[in-house]
Amino acid sequence: MKYKRILLKLSGESLMGERQYGIDNNRVQQYAQDIKTVFDAGIEVAIVIGGGNIFRGLSAEKSGMERAQADYMGMLATVINCMAMQSALEDLGIETRLQSAIKMEQICEPYIRRRAMTHLHTGKIVIFGAGTGNPYFTTDTAASLRAIEIKADVVMKGTRVDGIYTADPEKDPSATRYDEISFQEVYDKGLNVMDMTAITLCKENKLPIVVFDMNKEGNFMKLAQGEHVGTIVK
């Protein structure tokens, strides 16, 4: 296998499936099955999930809500998504641990780096909820931060598109996909891969990012085996 430890970042929107909001259980189960295939191959997996399918802090701020309050609400939304993923994975017989950057003892452990590392070593999937625990930071930044903290080999960002394009392929039919791109090119071209804080964290710590289509079954396993799927930023 190409990677020993992977941090998988999923957007909240990806959990909606064909719905307009909320959680599509069929989509969550498909993701869980794909994650299980990689996990069963002996690869350690940690997961960060966004909350945009339930609540978006930035959107709420635009409508007049205070940004910090809105961001905390968004963090709670991520925990709901994490619980849905935890349930789907445990239905498949995988031991998981959900760690939250905001304390809520009844449903998840507090985030403790060493404990997360131990869980991964002992064959559990660790799901990180509530972003970084701080307002003004996105779950992309949380994914990059947690990946660096647990010494992951790569951040894999599962989206609805099959990589990074010169423009939004859903709006511009002439957009072309990059197979590989440097962090500097992402800066220079202003590409919407992750927010700049997340990109900078990965760049400074020499942590590659792969953007790929998680909705296509088997893609996650292909990447874990080293096949070229999506776009790699390094």
Binding site residue list for ATP: 9-12, 52, 56, 159, 165, 168
Q: Which of 195, 143, 203 is nearest to 6 (CA)?
A: 143
Cα dihedral sign for 14, 19, 21, 27?
A: negative
Which residues define the annotated binding site for UMP?
Answer: 51, 71, 132-139
Which residues define the annotated binding site?
Answer: 9-12, 51-52, 56, 71, 132-139, 159, 165, 168
Q: Which of 10, 6, 36, 48 is nearest to 151 (CA)?
A: 6
